[in-house]
Structure 1
Amino acid sequence: MSFIKSVSVILATGVLVVLIRLVFRKAHSSSRQWPYQRQFLVLLVVLAGLFIAIALLPLEHEVKNQILSLLGILLSAVIALSSTTLVSNAMAGLMLRITHEFRGGDFIEVDTLVGRVTDLGIFHTEVQLVSRDVVSLPNLLLSQKAVKVTRRDGTFINLALSIGYMVSHQEVEKALLEAANRCKLTDSFVFVEAFLDNAIRYRLYGMLSESGERLSKTSELHKSVLDVFCEEGIEIASPALMDRREYDTAVQYFPKVGKNNQTSKEATTVEELVFDKADEAQFLEELKEVQTRLSKSLEELDAKQKKVVEEKNCQNRRGDRKAGGKTEGVLIAGGIRT
């Protein structure tokens, strides 16, 4: 009979939990607006019922306090262990918001994931992938990994391909630039990246003003390169062309020299186009150094000026003293001194 109160509290707690589940099952709209409200209410009701049931047990007051203290310690340990990740993600989320590395709508790349940011939460960041699926990344992961962010004011899209040694680099560069022009890319330039065993690897860069068109423009650029190279009769040896051709021993493997042997004017300004932000940072650092030098020079000039002024003041004082001594001597000689 002494356990009836505790048992009744436990039964009342179970009935209340069932009622909460039924209420939230009927109210679908509110459950969607507050997806975790039902879980929080059930947890609070269960914890409250458990503490009340323990408090109503027919035990000594000291025993009840020991049980409640043990239960509180267990709950504190569980919360402390589970909150480390939550706190870390929350702090990482605050750091990402303060630094403004990326925002909603930006293209980002993390490891092998490529997509656009759809939501910046406290604990996680939601990214929509190319497949239209949505992935949730913990903020702690984004703070520890290298995140590549596509700039909104324009980005260079690029592609790499290999062309055989029998084709001059002038012809290849001309064809690649033509493909970029057909895609309406600006400030295009070509890099000769490496000499492979059977081909030369080139990489084409083109400025895309609308970063939201990155995927479609990259595909369009690949198609344009295929079309232009087919029109020019240039074979693409990417990724590796395993072709056996018999040539006479007197044949030398030299490409035909192109008509235009001059390098493109864009090649001279590649660093200015690509590293504009880095150049700006360097310029600011140089300005800071100049400012520091000017400040030191001004301090030295001020010190010299103060020294000159002090010397002049000392000379004036000496002159005044000499002039005063002469006047006193004249007065004494004239018998005016009393």
Structure 2
Amino acid sequence: MGLLPDLITLFWPLLVSLVLVTFFLSLLNWLLLKRHTHLNGEQKLPRQLTMLVANIVGVIAIVLTLPVSEAIQNQILALIGILLSGMVAFSSTSIMTNVMAGLVLRFNKPFRIGDFVRVNGFSGRVAEMGLLDTEIQTETRELISFANSVLVNSPLTVVRSSGAIISVELSLGYEIHHTRVEKHLLSAAAECGLEDSFVQVIALGDYSVSYRIAGLLTDVKSMLSARSKLHKAVLDSLHQAGIEIVSPAFTNTRPQEPGSVMIPLAPRKAKVASEQDNRPEAVIFDKAEEAEAVQQDRVALEEQLATLQAALKDANSEEKNLLKEQLDFTKTKLDELNNTKPKQEGVSASASTPAAD
């Protein structure tokens, strides 16, 4: 008759700990993940790490309530510690390094999806950010995957979203006064819509003077187009002013008329460039632009969701029904957006940069 009460007394702490740990983990999982279905992978990562730590703590709590001696409990805890240490020790060093580097990039946020970056001689726009690597789409439309440890340990150049300096360098002969050159170069920069443009004399060579015209481009997404447009504007501005852009050592053995200059004649009717010609970035950085657009839509929907949730608390019964419908619709759109994957094409070349051990 006394066996059952003894068993209940013996296993009661274990049963209570199992119930409490299960309830706590279920509640925490619902608070962090289940009710936030609109979160993307990056936003879920810290919550998933929190759940991992909570599960480890729960296992330790259950072990401490086992109806065994303290020595056996210590042995079980030591075994758990050995297993966890073994998992870390036998895991690839590169993987752990990249995971930690990925966390550093998420906390520091040196760049975002869609930003122009330059690392290890490669430049392009960020198309995707993962836990182990970051994908960059180059100016040749290739997709290059950089291990996160490379981005953390290497010098990284990020173009600021507020604007970037674009420039063109050229050399002209000493017979042309620099004030005349500066005037027409500034005119070319103004024609391209560059702000705060300036001209520098960067070198005095044996036979020519090297100039640099630069200006601030506020629309960084059109950087490639703006750079090409600046080159064209420099050509047109100098040629219209009668300034030849040729090497001082230029030699032409063909007979020329007296007073002839090496300036091409302007066409009678300029060819109207198509919209795609005006903005090649749409083709070159297609995946990066798509990823950036998805990210912007996601942020807008999250802000709208927060606004609706705040309005729902103070709404009356009639308004609540309408707000709930809008809330459900917004959550549905957000879920669809989170399930959207950037398009993958077989023609896109992909190179992987090995991680530094």
Q: TM-score, normalised by structure 1?
A: 0.47
Question: Radius of gyration: which is bigger?
Answer: 1
Task: Between the two structures, name the one with larger relative contact order (CA 8 Å, sep ≥ 6).
Answer: 2
Q: TM-score, normalised by structure 2?
A: 0.45
Higher helix share: 1
